Amino acid sequence: MRRRTALAALALLPAWPAAAHHGWSQYEGDRPLTLTGTIAETSYEFPHGTIRLKAADKTWTVVLAPPSRMTNRGLSPDALKVGVSATVMGYPHKSIGDELRAERITLDSTTTELR
């Protein structure tokens, strides 16, 4: 019995990262929003990079792409510096009032497609 339980638990381990990943259905895909502001914090970590963007109305948590995709598209960690001005186009979260899933980000007139 214990062996069967242990084997079942091991079989579920590959699904663990997927369970930790949130779905994009939590964002309002029919309500695009463009924000411009200053980067207050940055994270270039798995599973998605994030920035805290101080916009005119409030400070937003902006969910970016996975680090590997950002690097492949030319957006290095050095580009996402605190104090840099950024414009982000994305979709607001349905229940978290200060979160946005970014489709693209523009820094110094260079736009990076994130999706």
Please tell me the pTM assigned to this model: 0.79
CATH number at residue 100: 2.40.50.1010
Domain membership of residue 100 (yes or no) is yes
Does 13 map to a domain? no
Which 8-state DSSP code applies to residue 27?
A: B
Find the domain containing 77 and state its range.
Answer: 24-113
Whether 101 maps to a domain, the answer reads yes
In a domain, 34, yes or no: yes
Find the angle CA(86)-CA(112)-CA(50) to the nearest 5 degrees. 60
In a domain, 1, yes or no: no
Verify cis geometry, omega within 30 degrees of 0, for the bond prior to 47: yes
Residue 18 inside a domain? The answer is no
3-state secondary structure of 113: strand
Residue 20 is predicted with a pLDDT of 42
Ramachandran area for residue 48 (φ above 0: left; ψ -120 to 50: alpha; else beta): beta
- How high is the pLDDT of residue 21? 47
d(C-alpha 4, C-alpha 107), whole Å: 53
Asked whether 93 and 99 are in contact (CB, 8 A), the reply is: yes
Backbone angles phi, psi at 31, to 5 degrees: -130, 70
Q: Tens place of pLDDT for every residue, the chain, 115 residues?
A: 555 544 444 454 444 444 344 567 899 999 999 999 999 999 999 999 999 999 999 999 999 999 999 999 999 999 999 999 999 999 999 999 999 999 999 999 999 999 8
Domain count for the chain, please give it: 1
The answer as to whether 62 is a domain residue is yes
Task: Count other C-beta atoms under 10 Å from residue 80's C-beta.
Answer: 21
Whether residue 40 lies inside any domain: the answer is yes
At residue 115, the pLDDT reads 87
In 3D space, the residue among 82, 81, 99 whose CA is nearest the CA of residue 90 turns out to be 99
